[in-house]
Amino acid sequence: MRVVLTGGGTGGHIYPAVAIARQCEKEDPKTEFLYIGGQRGLESKLVPQEKLPFESIDITGFRRKLSFDNVKTIMRFFKGVKRSKALLREFKPDVVIGTGGYVCGPVVYAAAKLGIPTMIHEQNAIPGLTNQFLSRYADTVAVSFEGSVSSFPKAKRTVYTGNPRATTVLTANRERGFATLGIPMEAQVVLIVGGSRGAKAINNAMMGMAPFLHKLPGVHFVFVTGDTYFENTRESILAQLGTMANHLHIMPYIHNMPEVLAATSLIVNRAGASFLAEITSLGIPSVLIPSPNVTNNHQEANARQLEEAGASSMILEKDLTAETLFGKLEEIMTSRSTRETMSAASKKLGKPDSAAVMVEEIRRLTGKR
């Protein structure tokens, strides 16, 4: 089978595509891939590292306010469609899969116009503009949240698949997670992370919370700051404590996140869809602080899905302080029954077979069983 993948801008769009590729390889090692991404997006760095053939097109997203830049974007879209058609004619794929981000627009649109079977995947509870546009042309729209099926009334077919990133964490080695952190395996771990680049508001809460941590003996706290905030966060905490407590671990970035997640008792994080897929697949309780700086405030909608199910507690960024965050952590970490209830609710939301479900839908589209 020959598969074209497209998606970019953020890891939340890229890693689901990679997860689909790995599942395809698992089921059919002869599968061939081409990844079409943007010239400026994170995919131009991440995808080659995953050993997937990569080609790029020049495309940017629309501005929500009236701007001459939107005229340029329209011109880039049609140029992107032209280049995408050329790449697709040369590669001759059986299917084209878009996992979000504006780069999907010209690629999936071109494939639809060429009569190639197409599928798009929507990670968030509230659909993005690109996927709303493409839903009229794609053969299948796959969604991460069951409640999102009704969000695509003009789609030919909409299916609940979950997020394929959920499958990635299932084989993670828990022992390696503890070893990475330098924490004994019998310890409880609270992981606090603001995304791959960090988040200023969450880092500020981390710094203010450091003097309270001794109130939870036996709990190890892992602060993942992002490279930009690492030195400032570490120096601030050292200034407050005088020395680094052995139950506090400060890291700029975690490269083997699935393994660390497997060792985690409670996580504090933003509410990006791919990350939520991972933690629900593992059944990790969470305190979610959705970013207010995303399109359609979709992270808050994502977080509410987990909160309403009892899997998470949400703090809006405007309400985030060291005191409010530590209060939530103390409430959860001092009650085993609360953690167990949240964990069960989290796991109930998880869809660990998501990647396999996606590949089954690909086989239905292509007729390759």
d(CA 195, CA 288): 12
Q: Is 11 annotated as a binding residue?
A: yes
Evaluate whether 282 touches 177 at the Cβ level (below 8 Å): no
Q: Is 132 annotated as a binding residue?
A: no
d(CA 134, CA 96): 12
Q: Is 116 annotated as a binding residue?
A: no
Proportion of the chain in helix, strand, coil states, percent, rounded to 5: 50, 15, 35
Q: Is 10 annotated as a binding residue?
A: yes
d(CA 232, CA 235): 5
Q: Is 12 annotated as a binding residue?
A: yes
Rg (CA), the chain: 21
d(CA 114, CA 103): 18
Q: Is 284 annotated as a binding residue?
A: no
Q: At what angle do helices 11-27 and 273-282 cross, to 10 degrees?
A: 50
Evaluate whether 155 touches 137 at the Cβ level (below 8 Å): no
**In 3D, which of 274, 289, 285, 266 has the Cα closest to residue 191?**
266
Annotated binding site for UDP-N-acetyl-alpha-D-glucosamine: which residue ranges?
Answer: 10-12, 124, 196, 254, 299
Annotated binding site: which residue ranges?
Answer: 10-12, 124, 196, 254, 299
